[in-house]
Amino acid sequence: MQRKWVFVAVLSLSLLFAAAGVAAARDPEAPAGFDNSSFTGTYAAISINGDTGVIGLCNMDGVGAFSCNFTVNVPGQNKDRMVVPASSTGTYSLTAEGIGLAPEEQKAPDGTTNKIVNLLAVTDAKAVGRHLLATEVDSASPNDQGGTDHSVLRRLPDVGNIEGGFSNASVDGVYALSSPFGPGVVGICHMDGAGNFVCDLTAAAPGDNGNMQMLSIANTGAYTVTSDGMGSVHYTNTFPDGSTQEGDDDFVISAAEADGPFTVATELTDLGRDPGDDQGALAVTILRRLPDLADTAGMTETASMSDTTSGQ
């Protein structure tokens, strides 16, 4: 454990000193760049490392302190999955180049704690005047297996001026579904904005003689979204032979857009409470919202074919 701490400390200090050297050579007329106030607001946190998945929300105060609440999905005792809540608090500091450290104390439901140090790097931002606001941050920290765990934090829109924050109505429209980790599943999901959904899924499953077979699945169910952007799903899978399977998932709104008085989820990161295969694999699905098609009723054929993108 001590070796890992030394490695991370040396790596972190090297990057910070390198950033300081770059900062010394900066044009004094250039924008101020990053500082602690660049890291402010609510961020969706996603960490998929091996067979462990973590989703949650972190609130950064813009001064140098943060607090997070997580749903942790880990292997169980008999190739099943176990879902537990967790939380953490800590501090952070960013250099003008967007590199920083974040000492963190993680707390489990039984009250036990674990202290780690995260190495931060801003990987996406937007300019607000002469200031930069971090919209995506990569975090790396040592794990108990002698390796490094990675997580990404994506800034969600400010919902303080939106009555009630997120709700079921935030998840509304057509979403493309994919599974970058675990069993291969793709599909299209129709979310009604009132807590109900219908998905047409295609899953890749091992067939006879090691061949891959495609399986069509009708997936229906209900979802609930909390005001801060977490959610849960209860679903029923119906297979071609008529058999059914029920299950539950947890998700976080991992990207969203403000649309007037509403906040629309453009991406969901979903973790299955049930194993993804017979070996107890973590099942992860990503749902990304597709654009709404324009209502062409009442449009002439000429109007519908016009190119309005040139601005001429």
Domains by residue range for the chain, with CATH: 2-155 (2.40.128), 168-289 (2.40.128)
pLDDT higher than threshold 60 for residue 64: yes
The residues, any chain, with a CB within 8 Å of residue 16's CB and separated by 6 or more, are 95, 99, 100, 101
Residue with tokens 């993680």: 106
What integer pLDDT is reported at residue 294 of this predicted model? 74
- Can you tell me the distance from the alpha carbon of 41 to that of 38, in angstroms, rounded to the nearest whole number? 9
pLDDT at residue 182 is higher than 80? no
Q: How do residues 91-113 score in pLDDT, each as one tens digit?
A: 999 999 999 999 999 999 888 99
The pLDDT of 74-78, averaged and rounded, is 90
**pLDDT for the residue numbered 305:** 46
Q: How many CB atoms lie within 10 A of CB 162?
A: 18
Distance between CA 64 and CA 122 in Å, rounded? 15
Across the range 242-267, mean pLDDT stands at: 93
Q: What is the DSSP letter of 32?
A: -
**Residue 206 near residue 218, CB atoms below 8 Å:** no
Which residues, listed in sequence order, are joined to residue 77 by a DSSP beta bridge? none
pLDDT of 191 above 60: yes
Would you state the pLDDT for residue 142?
Answer: 86
Read off the pLDDT of each residue in 232-251 and give the average, rounded to a whole number. 96
Return mean pLDDT, the chain.
84
| pLDDT value of residue 13 | 35
Lowest mean pLDDT among 24-28, 228-232, 297-301: 24-28
Q: Which residue did the predictor score with more confidence, 15 or 232?
A: 232
CA 275, CA 200: separation in Å to the nearest integer? 20
If you average pLDDT over residues 25-34, what whole number do you get?
A: 58
Q: What is the tens place of the pLDDT at every residue in 111-149?
A: 899 999 999 999 999 998 888 999 999 999 988 777 889
**Cross-strand partners of 138:** 121, 152
Pick the range with the lowest mean pLDDT from 75-84, 95-104, 182-191, 208-217: 208-217
280's torsion region: left (phi>0), alpha (psi -120 to 50) or beta?
left
pLDDT at 258: 85
Identify the weakest region by mean pLDDT among 35-49, 52-66, 76-90, 176-190.
176-190
pLDDT surpasses 50 at 15: no
* 8 Å CB contact between 64 and 93: yes
Residue recorded with tokens 């579904």: 177
- The number of CA neighbours under 13 Å toward the Cβ of 60 is 29
- State which amino acid sits at residue 110: D
For residue 11, pLDDT over 50 is answered with no
Report pLDDT for 143.
81
Residue 8 has pLDDT above 50, yes or no: no
User: Is residue 243 predicted with pLDDT exceeding 70?
Assistant: yes
Report the pLDDT value the prediction gives residue 164, as an integer from 0 to 100: 66
